[in-house]
């Protein structure tokens, strides 16, 4: 993990860009974090639009984490930002755009082609990032995972025992195979659903929530479309992480 | 409104029992409430089990209201506690018990007979209580309504413009007629649902949530049965009222 830039935000949060091999990422630590007082960590998931485009929303979430005494970190997804594209993913995105433009239902084969390879590639990268982040003396754990493509979150909490709580956003296409995988999730879950999400199947999201194996799981459904998550939903999610990471 | 008892709880909350005509009730006011600093009010709904039996849960909710700077008040439901029974309600309860004991689905006619007369009788009583409560100099509004039989809450917020926000518990039988009425609800709503509520139809609860006409409505679904609402759900509900009553 090589730091490539460092700045102190106006709230005291230290923001550092890094690279992990070829993968760019950002780490935010609260002013209080130190070797003698290492802090918990929240991994910030995001949609595959590139870190640069996502930065305003990511830094807002990171500031909230820091205010609660948590570090936050994120890495670029495979095929996003400046990272190399791969042909199959580009084809899946094109097929998706075409189906949606034609007003056709998005078939399982498109969803599988779009999501499954991304999960396969991204999850080992997030685990490697976690290795490096937890090796830092100012970061002590426990670790939470928040947001982004829900299938990445599901796979990550199934395979990664260091993640003890997850806030998931039921707002992306979910391959059928992930419903089986959801049953193997056991960590406490806080699931956000936008009731009128244009690009999302509400019943599928409710079925997915039902499928999760976790004994503690909460669904927060709010009005509005995909990007209309109300600010108070962020407050409730922060309360969830405060309960489980402190 | 005649006060019949008064005691100061250990957290400073003033608890006063009262009667409103033949109807017993309880008013809790935070230590801070005064003529010069009147406080908002939350009406505490409850199931028809009698105020005496419900007291432990009611006082816990009232203490939380007081800690947030809100008064809280409740009244006995018609046909509960020491209030006179009426034959049709007793028959409806007996029919319900019989259907449930036989493992039969609870038919619309039983639900209608159980709930609709209770709504008809209770709602004017809560409105009369509200008149008396808001006439007190230490209570200033705005007013919220929280919990209890959801059909009473729906009717109350439809007909009572002084209630500006409602926390509802989707945990009781809902007559079909109330789904239409739900469309006329416009105040911000915070709806709790217990995902595995034995006596509740989950899909009906989701349909009811969908039916509400409010622009701001949030569904919080948690694991567990009817009485298993987790403590953190109360925290989130308190946050909802703090946003809308302060």
* Greater pLDDT, B235 or A18: A18
Is the CB of A219 less than 8 angstroms away from the CB of B220?
yes
Percent of chain B scored above 90 by pLDDT? 88
B198 pLDDT above the threshold of 90 = no
**Model confidence at B244: pLDDT above 90:** yes
CATH number of A2-83+119-245: 3.40.50.1820
The pLDDT, as a whole number, for residue B13 is 98
The per-residue pLDDT for A172 is 83
The confidence score (pLDDT) of residue A111 equals 94
- Distance (Å, whole) CA B105 – CA B51: 29
Q: What is the dihedral of CA A123, A125, A129, A132, to 10 degrees?
A: 120
Instruction: Answer yes or no: do A233 and B220 touch at CB < 8 A.
Output: no
Rg (CA), chain A: 17
Q: Which of the two residues, B106 and B65, has the higher pLDDT score?
A: B65
| pLDDT, position B74 | 98
pLDDT score recorded for residue B172: 83
* Contact yes or no for B239 and A236 at CB 8 A: yes
Alpha helices, H only, chain A: 51-67, 87-101, 108-134, 150-159, 176-182, 202-211, 231-245
Give the mutation candidate from B203, B235, B236, B237 for the A interface (greatest A CB count, under 10 A).
Answer: B236
Show residues of chain B in contact with A228, CB under 8 Å: none
Rounded (10°) CA dihedral A103, A104, A105, A107: -140
**CB nearest to A235's CB, from B210, B214, B239:** B239
CA-based R_g, chain B, Å: 17
Q: What is the mean pLDDT of residues B188-199?
A: 92
Residue-level pLDDT at B227: 86
The domain limits of chain A are: 2-83+119-245
Structure tokens at A198: 């244009």
What is the predicted pLDDT for the residue at A127?
98
In this prediction, residue B215 has a pLDDT band, given cuts at 50, 70 and 90, of very high
Residues of A in contact with B218 (CB under 8 A): 220-223, 230, 232-233
Least CA distance to B215: which residue of chain A? A223
Question: What is the CATH superfamily name and number for domain B2-245?
Answer: Alpha/Beta hydrolase fold, catalytic domain (3.40.50.1820)
Q: What is residue B171's predicted lDDT score, i.e. its pLDDT?
A: 83
| ipTM exceeds 0.90, yes or no | no
Query: If you measure CA to CA, which chain A residue comes closest to B230?
Result: A216
The Cα of B81 is separated from the nearest Cα of chain A by a number of Å equal to: 34
User: How would you write chain B as a 3-class SS string?
Assistant: CEEEEEEECCCCCEEEEEEECCEEEEEEECCCCCCCCCEEEEEEECCCCCHHHHHHHHHHHHHHHHHCCCEEEEECCCCCCCCCCCHHHHHHHHHHHHHHHCCCCCCHHHHHHHHHHHHHHHHHHHHHHHHHHHCCCCEEEEEEEEECCHHHHHHHHHHCCCEEEEEEECCCCCCHHHHHHHCCCCCCEEEEEECCCCCCCHHHHHHHHHHCCCCCEEEEEECCCCCCCCHHHHHHHHHHHHHHHC
Bond prior to A142 in cis (omega within 30° of 0): yes
CA distance A235 to A244: 15
| pLDDT digits 0-9 by tens, B10-19 | 999 999 999 9
Please list the pLDDT of chain A residue by residue as tens digits (246 residues): 999 999 999 999 999 999 999 999 999 999 999 999 999 999 999 999 999 999 999 999 999 999 999 999 999 999 999 999 999 999 999 999 999 899 888 899 999 999 999 999 999 999 999 999 999 999 999 999 999 999 999 999 999 999 999 999 998 899 999 999 999 999 999 999 999 987 788 999 999 999 999 999 999 999 988 888 998 998 899 999 999 999
Mean pLDDT for B155-163 is 98
Residue B200: the pLDDT is: 80
As a whole number of angstroms, the distance between CA B115 and CA A169 comes to 37
């Amino acid at each position: 993990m090589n730091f490539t830039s460092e700045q102190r935000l106006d709230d005291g949060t230290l923001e550092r860009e890094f690279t992990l091999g070829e993968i760019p990422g950002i780490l935010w630590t609260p002013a209080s974090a130190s070797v003698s007082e290492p802090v918990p960590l929240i991994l910030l998931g995001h949609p595959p639009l590139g870190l640069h485009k996502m930065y305003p929303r990511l830094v807002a979430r990171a500031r909230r984490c820091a205010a609660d005494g948590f570090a936050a970190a994120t890495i670029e997804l495979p095929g996003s930002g400046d990272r190399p594209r791969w042909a199959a993913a580009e084809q899946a995105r094109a097929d998706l755009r075409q189906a949606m433009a034609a007003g056709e239902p998005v078939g399982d084969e498109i969803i599988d082609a779009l999501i499954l390879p991304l999960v396969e590639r991204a999850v080992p990268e997030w685990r490697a990032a976690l290795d490096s982040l937890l090796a830092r003396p100012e970061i002590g754990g426990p670790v939470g995972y928040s947001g982004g493509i829900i299938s990445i979150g599901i796979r990550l909490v199934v395979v990664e025992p260091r993640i003890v709580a997850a806030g998931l956003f039921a707002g992306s296409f979910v391959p059928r195979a992930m419903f089986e995988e959801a049953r193997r999730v056991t960590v406490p879950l806080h699931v956000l659903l936008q009731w009128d999400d244009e690009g999302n199947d509400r019943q599928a999201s409710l079925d997915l929530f039902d499928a999760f194996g976790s004994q503690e799981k909460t669904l927060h459904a709010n009005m509005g479309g995909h990007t209309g998550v109300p600010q108070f939903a962020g407050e409730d999610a922060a309360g969830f992480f405060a309960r489980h990471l402190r």
